[in-house]
Structure 1
Amino acid sequence: MQAQADATLRFDDKTQSFFCEGAWLIHTLGSITLPNIKQTAENFKINGAHLTALDSAGAVKLYEIFAASSEQPLHTCLVDFSDEHQALLDLVASNTEFMAYYPPTDTSHSLLYRVGQETHHKAVQAKDFITLLGELSYKFVDILGHWQKFRLPSIASNLYSTGLQALPIVGLLAFLIGVVLAYQMGLQLQAYGANSFIAYLSGMAIFREFAPLITAIIVAGRTSSAFTAQIGSMMVNEEVDALKTMGL
């Protein structure tokens, strides 16, 4: 069991071969002690007869050990590997460009660079917003002259999903805010003996000021979240790609 748990690499002077033994897995690669590969013969072999398990991390490790220290192609050195291990090693050897990739380092930039970058981002956002306004204006004028393009069922469906379905949460929040506001106003007006004005003041404040504000905030937040979730679901289901393919 211990031989299966550890990954080892040993060199045999008689056969001039490296023997990969044990399980070459991502959690056992730390136990490998590397021999001095540069002092061995040029035409050495890598024997995998005693290799019990091999994953992609082990295959990459094996390639890194020998490819950087030998001029021989790795596939010419491999002997007695199972078909599964051989296929994995061939796959790694045919995609060596990813091993030269290093994650980009976090480089700090000067204040002037960051200001310029942020200004560029804001300018791009402003351009996109102006483009959106232009497209909306063009479509609106185009619909005025072609009423057959006016999709009333789609508009009614959007009004229902963005407006009518948002009424329960808006009503609940307005009620809770009204209760808290009436309670706080009652504590303040009690000192002046004006408890009878609590209902009038709270009603006027909520209906005139808080209700439109609460409704606008909740509807905007809920609607934008619903649209974002719907677009995300469409992208996952490749519906957006289908619409682009059909030219819609």
Structure 2
Amino acid sequence: MDKVKPKKHLGQHFLTDLGIAEKIAKGMTGHRGVKKVLEIGPGMGVLTDFLLQEPWDLYLVDVDTESIAYLHKKYPQLGEKIIEADFLKHDFGKVIEGDYAVVGNFPYNISSQIFFKVLEDRHKVPEVVCMLQKEVAQRIASPPGNKDYGILSVLLQAFYDIEYLFSVPPGVFNPPPKVNSGVIRLKRNETKKLDCDEKMFFRVVKQAFSTRRKTLRNALKSMGLAEEVREMSLLDKRAEQLGVQDFVFLTNQIQATWNK
């Protein structure tokens, strides 16, 4: 079969190191007994080969027509489980019945958007193992108080336990990216619902980090904080110093004054 040519506009960097592909595949734990796995952007199936050695019910999704044609020839047994679609726009609940894990070498240019989609589907996605730009991977896994800690850190850590597994150099890809990569694992925690208005929580977190060098009192000024909220000592801190529960508390305080 002819090889698939990586396409710059799709952010494709095909992994060529079989050892790393195997490590990523073995990073899947089947958290909460999940059996179905969706691989995002399989390209020519370097990671897929190792996933198929495990007892997963495997689905593949790729937006690249050339990759899809290649995958159908390479894995005819998967048939309709090879899906040509944009992960960000596709409703996988109509294709995959029940829960499913997500795995893949995420395109750098849409990795954050992939995680926001995972958050939307968090009740169906108990586990994610993925490779992405090292800086983004570190940010997602960072604890409060770390300079890397940001919006995605808070939002994902609200619903997932996150581990940074290992780093990957540029030379194991075709073409090599200009940055290092990192592999992380997310496991769904026991939080079914936050103890606050979740839409408001997302809004507060995003606004808090919009000017991360400022104190929360200044960063949240545009939200029209009531005087009793503005006077809270918590607002002397910067966003990166707050954990998930701090943001839940802050969200409830803001919501309470709005409802008066």
Normalised-by-shorter TM-score class: under 0.3
Higher strand residue share: 2
Q: TM-score when scaled to structure 2?
A: 0.24
Which has the bigger relative contact order, CA under 8 A and spacing at least 6?
Answer: 2
Q: Find the structure with the greater CA-based Rg.
A: 1
Higher helix residue share: 1
